[in-house]
Amino acid sequence: MHTHSTPVPDAVTAQLRIIPRDQHIISRRQISQNALRVLYRLHESGHEAYLVGGAVRDLLVGLVPKDFDIATDATPEQVKALFRNCRLIGRRFRLAHVVFGREIIEVATFRANVDDGSGDREVHDGGRLLRDNVYGTIEDDAVRRDFTANALYYAIADFSVRDYTGGYEDVQNRVMRLIGDPETRYREDPVRMLRAVRLAAKLDFTIEPGTAEPIPRLASLLSEAAPARLFEECLKLFLSGHAVASFEQLERYGLLPALFPESAAALASNRSGALRAIVLAGLASTDARIAAGDPVSPAFLFATLLWPAFCRTWMKLQADGVHAVEAQRRAADRVTLHQLSTVALPRRFSLPMQEIWLLQARFPLRQRKRVTRTLSHPRFRAAFDFLVLRQTASDAHSADVAFWEEAQHDPDNAIALYPGEDEADGEADAPRKRRRRRRAPVAAG
């Protein structure tokens, strides 16, 4: 795609609506001190300066923004000259970062033309890299953005909100609406489909019908997106406190196969719904942890999201005659490898994810020595939490959960209380095999 040949759709004619200070709810008290400092300094230096994007949108719906982005007519070099604590980043698009300890205020010069911000593709025309990174007016800057709700500007000059795309009304009506022709905008950057779903889930907005309609049709375009970018997008989808809502929206708009093809296939063929119940339980507990301020890990999240794929692959390998233990190891490797082509999960997360899966097979083993080893595994706690999730979908795991609950306090008492199946376990091979084969279907349930 040539961004110079698909500029902002003609239909979009930016028409300014100004919402004065006394007619909107944004107050300076809700804006970070550092962002205010940058806004004022730019303004005092004779530049235009606006808070823009997600922060304005979030403030208008009463949320606390994660970060504060600023748009200005000052060039990056001019911004740099104004702030000692400023560094310029980006190759194709230079941005200024003003650094205040741990808070970074991003300052972007108004840009014209379409950029999806993805860095996914270089823009070539007959092999020539086009330098179409032209600065533009605030109107240009507004209409290149994705959703109307994301294209509002809070002016430090008079504390008004400037609206060039009808975003103010859309925010009031809680609607996600793409700027311009939806299909064109999704083709420019398919990740916008995920952003539509994610922001609707986060903000509890509906997706305007014209914006929603192309998504199921164009979902497969996501295969063009960079897997590393999709990984980042997944973290935002599932580790921002709205994982259940995000998952349900992805299902609804047919986006699940684009992100997790093997899990989507496994979920579709799992008629009992047990796998889906496990995934939803995992996502609900992730949301609950975030609400409680507890830490969450991408490894556990992906162990949850890819569990259906893992179970399905594991069962297939066993059906092909691979021994249960070996089948498990191979399934973990295979699912991890296949997943890389859509959402690139870094190894520092995929290794612990695999450990969480493989530890599941150790939970039925209650021989003293094995119990000690399982308890001392660095991933024990995460794997136990995962076992609890599986129990929500199947009673088959309640004895294991009770045992390991007790074993964490007093392993000997646990063994005495729940002798389990392990007398038969020993080091002997035959009984173990028999038992595993019996347990295998349970894993999928």
Binding-site ranges for Mg ion (CB under 5 A): 54
Residues 48 to 77: which contact ligand ATP by CB under 6 A?
Answer: 53-54, 66, 69
Q: What is the DSSP letter of 97?
A: E
Q: Coil, helix or strand for 185?
A: helix
Binding to ligand ATP by CB under 6 A, coded x per residue (else -) over 319-358, reads ----------------------------------------
- Given a contact cutoff of 8 angstroms between Cβ atoms, the answer to whether 379 and 356 are in contact is yes
- Given a contact cutoff of 8 angstroms between Cβ atoms, the answer to whether 230 and 222 are in contact is yes
276 interacts with ligand ATP by CB under 6 A: no
CB of 287 to ligand ATP, least distance (A): 16
Question: CB-wise, 115 or 385, nearer to ligand ATP?
Answer: 115
Strand extents, DSSP E, 198-321? 206-207
| Contacts made by residues 180-187, CB under 8 angstroms, sequence distance 24+ | 180/8, 180/9, 180/11, 180/12, 180/143, 181/9, 181/11, 182/210, 182/211, 182/213, 182/214, 183/214, 183/218, 184/6, 184/9, 185/9, 185/146, 186/214, 186/215, 186/218, 186/221, 187/1, 187/218, 187/221
Q: Based on the residue annotation, tell me whether 425 is a catalytic residue of this protein.
A: no
Per annotation, catalytic residue among 67, 115, 385, 425: 67
Q: Which residues contact 156 (CB under 8 A, 6 or more apart)?
A: 36, 39, 40, 42, 43, 49, 50, 51
CB of 75 to ligand ATP, least distance (A): 19
Residue 116 interface partner, choices Mg ion, ligand ATP, none, CB cut-off 5-8 Å depending on type = ligand ATP
Binding test (CB under 6 A) with ligand ATP, winner from 48, 73, 116, 262:
116
Binding to ligand ATP by CB under 6 A, coded x per residue (else -) over 363-402, reads ----------------------------------------
Per annotation, catalytic residue among 58, 69, 141, 163: 69
Q: Which residues contact 68 (CB under 8 A, 6 or more apart)?
A: 31, 32, 34, 35, 51, 55, 105
- Given a contact cutoff of 8 angstroms between Cβ atoms, the answer to whether 366 and 418 are in contact is yes
39 interacts with ligand ATP by CB under 6 A: no
150 interacts with ligand ATP by CB under 6 A: yes
Residue 236 interface partner, choices Mg ion, ligand ATP, none, CB cut-off 5-8 Å depending on type = ligand ATP
138 interacts with ligand ATP by CB under 6 A: no
Question: CB-wise, 231 or 310, nearer to ligand ATP?
Answer: 231
Please report, as a single letter, which amino acid is at residue 245. Answer: A
- 52 pairs with which residues across the strands? 69, 153
Q: What is the DSSP letter of 209?
A: H
- 105, two tokens: 């205020």
Q: Coil, helix or strand for 364?
A: coil
CB of 216 to ligand ATP, least distance (A): 19
The continuous run of DSSP H or E covering 164 comes out as: none
Residue 191 interface partner, choices Mg ion, ligand ATP, none, CB cut-off 5-8 Å depending on type = ligand ATP
Q: Based on the residue annotation, tell me whether 400 is a catalytic residue of this protein.
A: no
Per annotation, catalytic residue among 58, 132, 146, 163: 146
Binding test (CB under 6 A) with ligand ATP, winner from 176, 191, 245, 311:
191
Binding test (CB under 6 A) with ligand ATP, winner from 80, 97, 111, 145:
145
- Given a contact cutoff of 8 angstroms between Cβ atoms, the answer to whether 117 and 191 are in contact is no
Q: Based on the residue annotation, tell me whether 69 is a catalytic residue of this protein.
A: yes
Contact footprint for ligand ATP (CB under 6 A): 53-54, 66, 69, 116-117, 145-146, 150-151, 189, 191-192, 236
Active-site annotation, residues:
67, 69, 146
